């Protein structure tokens, strides 16, 4: 959060988190991808509506408005809709603060959206397999899984597997990710709130299986952030080739400061 956002959070805390979201419109719009900025008003109104409809979420946001705004800015930076299966807003108990606070969890639709936005895939398939479904996939033999569902069945059984793959724009199939109950259990164990009744692991179990498979697929398919970095690098290379040759300046001693200081870092979603 910027200093302006923090100051605004303190100033309007008595007015409620909904007012804070509106006050911080400039900061939200600043970090949003360009294609989202034209609908920042609708994005803010949707978030305010979530607070009005969910007393637990509102209370958690009131307990720490700074944390709440950090989560919203993360969703805005990714260009995802908070409070949806793109990006969950979850009240979580904080042992340190002795109260609930809002945390953000990327959903499976958010993971898929980031893959599409990278521009390298034509389609992304993420599905769950129930015990009464027919599922076959032989790595090294089958290009894609064969998944047959009896849509007339009253009960497809219990959740058994989750899988994900992408079809690239050149027609090639990405690595196929297949997860069984053991893989899902390990992913769930990484969530310190999985046993809470409000956790999406309990309120939307199938979606979390889908999210886990989609998240694993991001290791094999370009994401939006990767795509942007590659585009910037490509533009820089072209500019360097077109620029006139100049003599390089003599190297200067570096003021390294604290050798242990983190120069650049990226938070990794450990939810799955």
| C-alpha atoms less than 13 angstroms from C-alpha of 191 in its C-beta half-sphere | 23
Instruction: Out of 85, 106, 127, pick the residue that ends a domain.
Output: 106
Q: How many domains does the chain have?
A: 2
CB 70 within 8 A of CB 1: yes
The helix (H) or strand (E) run that includes residue 234 is helix 224-242
Could you tell me where the DSSP H helices lie in 24-160?
25-31, 34-37, 40-53, 55-63, 65-78, 108-118
CB 117 within 8 A of CB 81: no
Residue at 212 is within a domain: yes
Residue at 200 is within a domain: yes
Residue at 32 is within a domain: yes
Residue at 272 is within a domain: no
Instruction: Out of 74, 106, 138, pick the residue that ends a domain.
Output: 106
Label residue 192 by pLDDT band (50, 70, 90): confident
174 & 195 share domain: yes
The helix (H) or strand (E) run that includes residue 126 is strand 121-130
113 & 213 share domain: yes
Distance (Å, rounded) from C-alpha 165 to C-alpha 218? 10
What sign for the dihedral angle of Cα 213, 218, 220, 222? positive
67 & 144 share domain: no
Distance (Å, rounded) from C-alpha 72 to C-alpha 61? 11
pLDDT at 4 over 70: no
Higher pLDDT, 66 or 259: 66
pLDDT at 85 over 50: yes
100 & 192 share domain: no
Label residue 227 by pLDDT band (50, 70, 90): low
CB 12 within 8 A of CB 45: no
72 & 166 share domain: no
| C-alpha atoms less than 13 angstroms from C-alpha of 216 in its C-beta half-sphere | 22
pLDDT at 271 over 90: no
Residue at 237 is within a domain: no
85 & 168 share domain: no
Distance (Å, rounded) from C-alpha 184 to C-alpha 209? 7
128 & 193 share domain: yes
Instruction: Out of 84, 106, 128, pick the residue that ends a domain.
Output: 106
pLDDT of residue 102: 93
31 & 65 share domain: yes
- Mean pLDDT, residues 169-186 taken together: 95
Label residue 10 by pLDDT band (50, 70, 90): very low
62 & 160 share domain: no
Residue at 260 is within a domain: no
Q: Backbone dihedral region of 119: left (phi > 0), alpha (psi from -120 to 50 degrees) or beta?
A: left
Average pLDDT of every residue of the chain: 81
Residue at 229 is within a domain: no
Residue 243, classed as helix, strand or coil, is coil
Label residue 21 by pLDDT band (50, 70, 90): very high
Distance (Å, rounded) from C-alpha 210 to C-alpha 26? 34
CB 217 within 8 A of CB 111: yes
187 & 211 share domain: yes
Domain with 130, as residue range(s), is 109-217
- Mean pLDDT, residues 40-68 taken together: 93
Distance (Å, rounded) from C-alpha 246 to C-alpha 263? 29
């Amino acid at each position: 959060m910027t200093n302006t956002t923090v100051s605004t959070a303190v100033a309007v805390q008595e007015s409620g988190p909904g007012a804070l979201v509106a006050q911080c419109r400039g900061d939200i719009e600043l970090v949003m991808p360009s294609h989202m900025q034209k609908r920042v008003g609708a994005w803010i109104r949707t978030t305010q509506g979530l607070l009005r409809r969910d007393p637990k979420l509102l209370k958690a946001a009131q307990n720490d408005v700074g944390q709440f705004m950090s989560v919203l800015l993360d969703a805005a930076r990714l260009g995802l809709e908070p409070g949806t299966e793109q990006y969950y807003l979850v009240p979580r108990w904080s042992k340190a603060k002795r109260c609930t606070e809002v945390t953000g969890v990327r959903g499976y639709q958010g993971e898929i959206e980031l893959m599409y936005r990278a521009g390298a895939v034509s389609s992304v398939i993420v599905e769950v397999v129930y015990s009464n479904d027919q599922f076959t996939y032989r790595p090294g033999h089958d290009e894609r899984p064969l998944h047959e569902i009896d849509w007339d069945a009253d009960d497809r059984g219990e959740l058994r597997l989750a899988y994900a793959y992408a079809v690239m724009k050149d027609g090639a199939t990405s690595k196929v990710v297949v997860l069984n109950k053991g893989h899902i259990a390990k992913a769930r164990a990484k969530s310190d709130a999985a046993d809470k009744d409000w956790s999406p692991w309990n309120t939307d179990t199938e979606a979390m299986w889908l999210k886990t498979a989609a998240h694993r697929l991001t290791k094999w398919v370009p994401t939006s952030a990767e795509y942007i970095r590659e585009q910037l690098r490509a533009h820089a290379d072209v500019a360097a080739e077109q620029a006139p040759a100049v003599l390089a300046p003599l190297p200067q001693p570096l003021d390294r400061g604290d050798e242990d200081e983190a120069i650049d870092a990226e938070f990794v979603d450990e939810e799955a």
